[in-house]
Amino acid sequence: MKPKYKYLNSLVLQRSKGGFKRRRAPKNPELEEALFEWQQRMQAAAILVTGNLIQAIAIKLWNTMAYYQGQQQPSFLSGWVNNFKKRNRISRRKLHGEAGSANIEGAQERMQELRAIVNEYLN
């Protein structure tokens, strides 16, 4: 390969509609790794994760991770959330079967009731 094309070896390229484009590395990889792990756990538990929830968890993680103490918190705006989703190939998928028909409204209160009942039997 000619020396003028050596830079292509170091770039991570991503296929797009118009050809190839460079995939940029995240500015805060530790945060994004922790956030992606959290998102995967929520997805495995069939919990709906919205952009606002991703923003809130990103802020919470930023404030609790020792790596970022003393650094200025970035503004986790909707553009950042969209880019995070693109970088990690996160998209919303329609749930089918029982998961798609589950009524999640009031589930938090019901879980608290069930925990109280279980605690009575454990004690």
**How much is the average pLDDT of 13-30?**
69
**How much is the average pLDDT of 88-92?**
83
Inter-residue contact 112 to 118 (CB < 8 Å): no
**How much is the average pLDDT of 63-90?**
90
Give 90's pLDDT tier (boundaries 50, 70, 90). Answer: confident
Domains of the chain: 28-92 (1.10.10)
- Does 104 have pLDDT greater than 70? no
Its pTM surpasses 0.85: no
What is the per-residue pLDDT for 53? 93
Average pLDDT, the chain: 80
Query: Which of 112 and 105 is assigned the larger pLDDT?
Result: 112
- Does 122 have pLDDT greater than 80? no
